[in-house]
């Protein structure tokens, strides 16, 4: 039997079925679990969560001495909802500046959630499918409100966060790409979940190898390359049966030329979702700071990936470029006026005319007063003539300028 009770009534031994309130506000990764740790009880009662749902068939009921009217039945018997049938909510569009603030909260909660997920898997526990789906829903909602904000912000992960936040980034990129490809809501949710769990096998790789700052030995490289098979086995053991999720986990390192791994699949042998996973995985990898190298600038990354024609499916890659923009947020560009600018948003009219923040003169080689330009407007007489490397101009705060 399920009951809604006040957090003041919670005691050890209860089975928490659901935490009421916004998911990003509560202190736990798992949505449903048995409360057996006193520190978890203290965390719950100190949080902003005021009510929870308990399942008395799996744990203790409220204490008999308490007023029972405070707990009322909501469902009987307890029945798990089907997460696959949960519709994705319709979202009101927001500006990039507005969504950046909301995205920061989602990313903070995501970091906590994915870190816990990897830790639990390392300890031999199963992946919590329902909790992972909630995370995908929150990320998808941000993408629906504004396609670029969360994607651009999650790219700014630090080297220590890479393994965990890479999963969040690939989830967001997969959702955006699925929308660009015109996939259904159910398929978009599958793509997001596949992105979130694609690297779960890295939970089975020793941390000293995973975070090694220098070159890997042949043996270490072989160990790292085993993560798709390890991840696939972990998902199967967790009773995750969705073929899309399993396929992306196992095959996101395949290349259309047949030189990928683990199965050296070629072009038509690779599923659409695995092709999507390959592009999203590489883009976030090359644009992020890693333990052994700094990330490339977003626009330059797309240019270089476009030259790897034998790696990616052309149709998927072209859709991916449209989903992030030819000049993604955070890209530094040179204008025909001789000034440098950073892309801060996409315009509604064309991928070639984003909204930029001008801040540097190449003639004086110095900072100039910041000016925001919408290059799609007829009144603006400037235009992008190419990408620029911030480091080449001695600019080391490009991310602070746009974010």
Buried b (16+ CB within 10 A) or exposed e, 312-337: bbeebbebbbebbbbbbbbbbbbbeb
Structural domain count of the chain:
3
Domain co-membership, 349 together with 202: no
Examine the domain organization and report whether 212 and 296 are in the same domain: yes
Residues 134 and 204 in one domain: yes
Average pLDDT for residues 113-126, to the nearest whole number? 92
Q: Is 86 inside any structural domain?
A: no
200 and 107, same structural domain? yes
Task: Please report the pLDDT score of residue 142 as a whole number.
Answer: 93
* Mean of the per-residue pLDDT values of the chain: 87
Looking at the structure, do residues 309 and 343 belong to the same domain, yes or no?
Answer: no
What pLDDT shows up at residue 350?
86
CATH number at residue 141: 1.10.3210.10
Domain that holds residue 346: 332-402
Q: Does residue 396 sit within a domain? A: yes
- The answer to whether residue 91 is domain-embedded is no
* Residue 88 falls inside a structural domain: no
pLDDT surpassing 70 at residue 397: yes
Q: What is the pLDDT of residues 276-312, one digit of tens each?
A: 999 999 999 999 988 778 888 898 899 999 999 799 9
Q: Are residues 224 and 316 in the same domain?
A: yes
Write out the DSSP string of 131-188: HHHHHHHHHHHHHHH-TTHHHHHHTT--GGGHHHHHHHHHHHHHHHHHHHTT--HHHH
Same-domain pairing of 276 and 319: yes
Q: Is the pLDDT of residue 39 over 80?
A: no
> Is the same domain home to 193 and 337?
no
Kindly state whether residues 249 and 382 are assigned to the same domain: no
Listed residues 275, 300, 324: the one ending a domain: 324
pLDDT for the residue numbered 147:
86
pLDDT tier at 84 (50, 70, 90 boundaries)? very low
373: pLDDT confidence band, cut at 50, 70 and 90? very high
User: Is the pLDDT assigned to residue 40 strictly greater than 90?
Assistant: no
Claim to verify: residue 110 and residue 224 sit in the same structural domain:
yes
Three-state DSSP state, 392: helix
Identify the pLDDT of residue 37.
78
For residue 280, being part of any structural domain is answered with yes
| Distant-in-sequence, close-in-space partners of 397: CB < 8 Å, separation ≥ 6 | none
**Is 27 part of any domain?**
yes
Task: Please indicate, yes or no, if residue 18 is contained in any of the structural domains.
Answer: yes
Judge whether 87 lies within some domain: no
Verify that 101 and 65 share a domain, yes or no. Answer: no
Last residue of a domain, one of 324, 354, 382: 324
Mark whether 139 and 200 lie in a shared domain. yes
Give the model's pLDDT for residue 31: 61
Reported as a single tens digit per residue, the pLDDT across 206-248 is 999 988 888 899 999 999 999 999 999 999 999 999 999 999 9
pLDDT surpasses 80 at 78: no
- Residue-level pLDDT at 30: 61
Query: Is 232 buried (19+), middle (13-18) or exposed (0-12) by CB count in 10 A?
Result: buried
Boundary (domain end) residue, out of 324, 353, 377:
324
Q: What is the pLDDT of residue 25?
A: 52
């Amino acid at each position: 039997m399920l009951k809604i009770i006040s957090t003041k009534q919670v005691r050890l031994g209860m089975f928490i079925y659901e935490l009421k309130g916004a998911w990003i506000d509560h202190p736990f990764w798992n949505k449903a679990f048995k409360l057996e740790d006193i520190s978890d009880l203290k965390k719950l009662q100190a949080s902003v969560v005021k009510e929870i749902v308990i399942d008395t068939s799996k744990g203790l009921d409220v204490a008999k001495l308490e007023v029972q009217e405070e707990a009322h039945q909501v469902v009987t018997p307890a029945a798990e909802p089907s997460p696959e049938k949960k519709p994705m909510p319709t979202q009101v569009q927001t500006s990039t500046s507005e969504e950046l603030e909301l995205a920061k909260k989602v990313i903070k909660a995501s970091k906590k959630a994915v870190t816990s997920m990897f830790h639990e898997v390392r300890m031999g526990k199963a992946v919590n499918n329902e909790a992972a789906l909630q995370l995908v829903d929150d990320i998808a909602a941000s993408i629906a409100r504004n396609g670029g904000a969360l994607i651009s912000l999650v790219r700014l992960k630090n080297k220590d966060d890479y393994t965990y936040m890479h999963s969040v980034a690939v989830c967001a990129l997969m959702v955006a790409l699925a929308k660009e490809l015109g996939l259904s809501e159910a398929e978009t949710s599958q793509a997001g979940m596949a992105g979130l769990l694609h690297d779960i096998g890295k939970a089975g790789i020793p941390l000293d190898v995973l975070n090694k700052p220098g070159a890997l030995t042949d043996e270490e490289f072989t160990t790292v390359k085993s993560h798709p098979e390890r991840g696939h086995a972990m998902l199967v053991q967790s009773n995750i049966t969705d073929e899309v999720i399993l396929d992306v986990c196992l095959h996101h390192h395949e290349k259309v030329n047949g030189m990928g791994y683990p199965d050296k699949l070629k072009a038509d042998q690779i599923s659409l979702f695995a092709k999507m996973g390959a592009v999203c995985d590489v883009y976030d990898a090359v644009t992020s700071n890693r333990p052994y190298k700094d990330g490339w600038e977003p626009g330059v990354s797309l240019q270089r990936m476009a030259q790897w024609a034998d790696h990616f499916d052309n149709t998927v890659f072209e859709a991916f470029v449209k989903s992030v923009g030819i000049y993604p947020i955070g890209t530094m560009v040179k204008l025909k006026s001789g000034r440098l600018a950073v892309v801060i948003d996409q315009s509604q009219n064309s991928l070639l005319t984003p909204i930029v923040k001008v801040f540097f003169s190449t003639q004086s080689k110095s900072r100039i007063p910041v000016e925001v330009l919408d290059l799609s407007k007829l009144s603006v007489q400037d235009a992008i003539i190419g990408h620029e490397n911030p480091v080449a101009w001695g600019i080391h705060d490009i991310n602070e300028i746009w974010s």
